[in-house]
Amino acid sequence: MRLQLRIWRQKDGHTPGRLVQYDVDGVSEDSSFLEMLDLLNEQLISRGEEPVAFDHDCREGICGMCGMVINGIAHGPKAAITTCQLHMREFKDGDTIVIEPWRATAFPIMKDLIVDRTAFDRIVQAGGYISVNTGSAPDANAIPIPKEKADRSMDAAACIGCGACVAACPNSSAMLFTSAKLAHLNSLPQGQPERYERAVLMVEQMDREGFGGCTNIGECEAVCPKEISLDFIAMMNRDLLKANVMGKAKR
């Protein structure tokens, strides 16, 4: 395959960026999107040019590092996958592909397609813990947990923190991410002692980081590679209301 790439190039967060066009030839339709970028970088290096900087790690759809906007869609045209799981057979010979980084105030660009997503870490740090003394591994049946709650917690814990929800949202909201991180703790008995205070602390941190509010557009759910449900946002909002009633928001 021969492709025309228009890639966002930016030296650092203080230098204006622009889209630069590259032609890449010899792309196998069985290669992944990141392997295609590797091929481009090999060609750039052989010409003495600066390779394109992009985040990646596991290349198995687990770590969430590889996020980028491809033809206006976070992670690309195929649903429920990360960029590293996107294969070039989803494109046609001669296609033009526009590749950009996540666009959000809370995700400042570091270089080219790499953005700083440590705002997510600070949200989790603000309240993502439990104070129950776990000690050694308990017996599997020591704390009975209904299957419905266990499934809900596991569904929420599937969030890999890639940031696609923020990149796709017109408001750059992190509500889907934050609600998923809350739900995987708040759905279980071990997470109940700090449940409502945790919701307040993490949402307050989210607001401090500069993320926008949720207006129920649903783009976050549409691009999420792990198909995290909007239901978790509703669950988080209910916990926030209860926290206000209980006085947890007044410290």
The model's pLDDT over 54-102, given as tens digits with 9 standing for 90+, comes to: 999 999 999 999 999 999 999 999 999 999 999 999 999 999 999 999 9
- Spell out the CATH class of 3-110: alpha beta
Residue 117 is predicted with a pLDDT of 97
CA angle 186/188/191 to nearest 5° reads 55
Q: Where along the chain do the CATH 1.10.1060.10 domains lie?
A: 118-246
- Length of the chain equals 251
Work out the average pLDDT over 45-51.
97
Provide the 3-class DSSP secondary structure of residue 181: helix
Secondary structure E strands in the chain: 3-9, 18-24, 69-70, 73-74, 96-100, 109-111, 114-115
| 125-134 pLDDT per residue, tens | 998 666 767 6
Asked: is 118-246 a CATH 1.10.1060.10 domain? The reply is: yes
The C-alpha atoms of residue 110 and residue 228 are separated, in whole angstroms, by 27
Question: Model pTM greater than 0.85?
Answer: yes
